[in-house]
Structure 1
């Protein structure tokens, strides 16, 4: 996080009161976003997301067949590893980067263990109680310019939308023998229910009642007194919300923030899904692939 002087924070907060931000955006406007998929040839699914001129996230997915959790025998597993590159920010050198990596990984895990994403996890089941897919999702923060979790959740969702899994054939066992599986590396399919993957929207309060903004830059984040991050599914359902910061948020403002986060999340999901459909169609037809830009 970038630390500013009291005078600089006062400038940002006074501008927020008048609905003015340093880059000219309205309070709930998103910076230009660029999305690129299948950027890692060794991964089964991958995506890169850039927000503004700085924030840059790379995500890769590798699947593995394993045993499901005993608590959820009919579901697969989605695990996350997040690394904040020390080159992305001086704050990421040493313990600071490790702590933030752990926090981002925990937030992603919370999104994808929500009841709202249960059908997505169930689509990873192969043999109930015996075999399932584990998706190992590795994320790298290449550069940091604010709204890291929003960019990270968007990159994870894009990678899930284009991930391909080998075809699995279930061979029934004889008598008391367990069923066996055979993985066909010559035939692949896309992940069922990947459209259910959520994204996260963070709104940050600048101290005054009813004053908050979306997609904060590092400077705006450093001046925020409190923030709310909400997971939003394509059906507009909440996947949970977490708060941060030392300040408080009154109930009326909190209610307004959650409502705006849900609406903004749906707009982002709609925009990305339209572009991802074009991207997937182009890949299947063999057309040239180019990075996708929106909210510009």
Structure 2
């Protein structure tokens, strides 16, 4: 995947060398003073849009902000999925009616996601890449689609509309902002309470106060709390031996590798202590590879291709597997902490 940020970054080789040297220290010194796992301060609010089932507005300290609206409508199920895991893996569809909605499996196309970024075309590859990455996390493991089942003949169709209110090229990649805004909006999403019986045509309570959250709030065990949380996608950057979470534009300009990690509730029989698992990992080409190298003062005496300390040189090669494993492990811890903190924003 090509770099998602502009290649003409306004940083000189001297600036790039200084930023890279600061970030390779142990612990790293980030340009804005954050720790390696610390996110930018944000403000979040829910219920900002009328006539929707859920909405959220999130803004970062650097001025970037996003708006998400979620609308749900009842749709008739054309066919039912087989409850057998083997049939599900092979793509087999059971055309028979399921005995009740509890045994139904959701379908991934029940979740529709659209992303709008000001100044970009609808067929822009960056837009398509970000949209699919966000939707991939929502439908992974079928956790969200399974929650949309009403009975064997009816289900909810969820429409997630995301609007980036700021230009992403002016700061950092918008992926963390878009993911966190979608997460908060899903936490605040309500569905009308069902009054009809299991296999009857759905009849709902008109009282909105009686509506139920798409992701229930009260749980008994801490492990269960994580299993009912919407997924999030974290953006990480490798600089030296350090893992930088929520990298800024300056940090992306010198990152040796940029990795997007989607994390959500686990579907394993033996869940982790946090109840979370890795849903997807995507590599993004670092903008640092498009920068120009610095020129040593004694360039004539240095062999061509030699790395000189203190002189900027674009990174080469990829990330090693042990370090990728470290990133995934740290991402699980950071995601669990973020989900606990964002719980208070949902109204």
TM over 0.5: yes
Q: Which stretches in structure 2 are left out of the alignment for 5+ residues?
A: 82-103, 218-227, 266-274, 287-316
Aligned: 1:5 with 2:16: no
- Preserved contact between residue 45 and residue 160 of structure 1 (Cα < 8 Å): yes
Per-residue deviation, 1:182: 2.8
Change (3 A) 1:127 1:11: same
Q: Distance in 1 between matches of 2:145 and 2:132?
A: 17
Q: Which stretches in structure 1 are left out of the alignment for 5+ residues?
A: 87-91, 174-178, 281-296
Q: Distance in 1 between matches of 2:247 and 2:23?
A: 12
- Preserved contact between residue 228 and residue 241 of structure 1 (Cα < 8 Å): yes
Matching residue within 158, 161, 168 for 2:194: 168
Q: Which residue of 2 aligns with 1:141?
A: 164
TM-score by length of 1: 0.79
Give secondary structure in 2 for the equivalent of 1:62: strand
- Preserved contact between residue 57 and residue 152 of structure 1 (Cα < 8 Å): yes
Tell me how many residue pairs correspond in the alignment.
260
Give secondary structure in 2 for the equivalent of 1:58: strand
Aligned counterparts, 1:1-296, within 5 A: 1-2=5-6, 3-7=9-13, 8-18=15-25, 19-68=28-77, 70=79, 72=81, 74-75=105-106, 77-86=110-119, 92=120, 94=121, 98-115=124-141, 118-128=142-152, 130-143=153-166, 144=168, 145-170=171-196, 179-187=200-208, 188-193=211-216, 195-206=228-239, 208=240, 210-233=241-264, 235-245=275-285, 247-273=317-343, 275-276=344-345, 280=347
- Preserved contact between residue 53 and residue 189 of structure 2 (Cα < 8 Å): yes
Change (3 A) 1:102 1:186: same
TM-score by length of 2: 0.68
- Preserved contact between residue 111 and residue 240 of structure 1 (Cα < 8 Å): yes
Q: Larger % of strand: which?
A: 1
Per-residue deviation, 1:155: 1.1
> Which stretch of structure 1 is more off in the superposition, 68-77 or 193-202?
68-77
RMSD over equivalenced CA pairs, Å = 2.4
Change (3 A) 1:68 1:10: farther
Larger Rg: 2
Q: Distance in 2 between matches of 1:119 and 1:104?
A: 21
C-alpha distance after superposition, 1:197-252 (max 9, x if no partner): 1111111123x3x2331111123223323211112225221112111116411122
